Amino acid sequence: QIGYLLDTYPQLVILAFPTDDFHQEPGTNEEIATTVQHILGKDRFPGNPNFVLFSKSSLPLNPIYQKLSHHIHGRKVQHNFFKYLVGTDGIAVQLYAKKTAILDFESDIKNLLL
């Protein structure tokens, strides 16, 4: 699904923030990168400016997470694979739960990119 979005919307940028805050990501940064490469394929990762994998960190200490969560009042990341939709101004406009498939909010992405 991520590969489809990257191919379909070349102006879309995906930022990935691995964390072990939910005790499900014990891997090292290198192991996480290998997994991402396996999922996305070598042609999409590494080296794709539209998919950025950050170093593993704790969410409350991550300044980008702090900024994003500030704009989504009352909603917090509760588990791995939560997804923020962020405008070109850097403001989070929506937070999607782990169970929300990426393609379920493709129309939101499309509308934001128009």
Please list the pLDDT of the chain residue by residue as tens digits (114 residues): 888 998 999 999 988 999 999 999 999 999 999 999 988 888 778 888 888 999 999 988 989 888 888 878 767 788 888 898 999 888 888 999 889 998 999 999 999 988
Q: Which fold has domain 2-113?
A: Glutaredoxin (3.40.30)
- Residue 51 · residue 2 · CB < 8 Å: yes
| pLDDT attached to residue 3 | 87
Torsion of CA 64, 70, 76, 82, to 10 degrees: -40
CA distance 79 to 86: 19
| pLDDT attached to residue 34 | 94
- Residue 109 · residue 85 · CB < 8 Å: yes
User: pTM of this prediction?
Assistant: 0.83
| pLDDT attached to residue 48 | 84
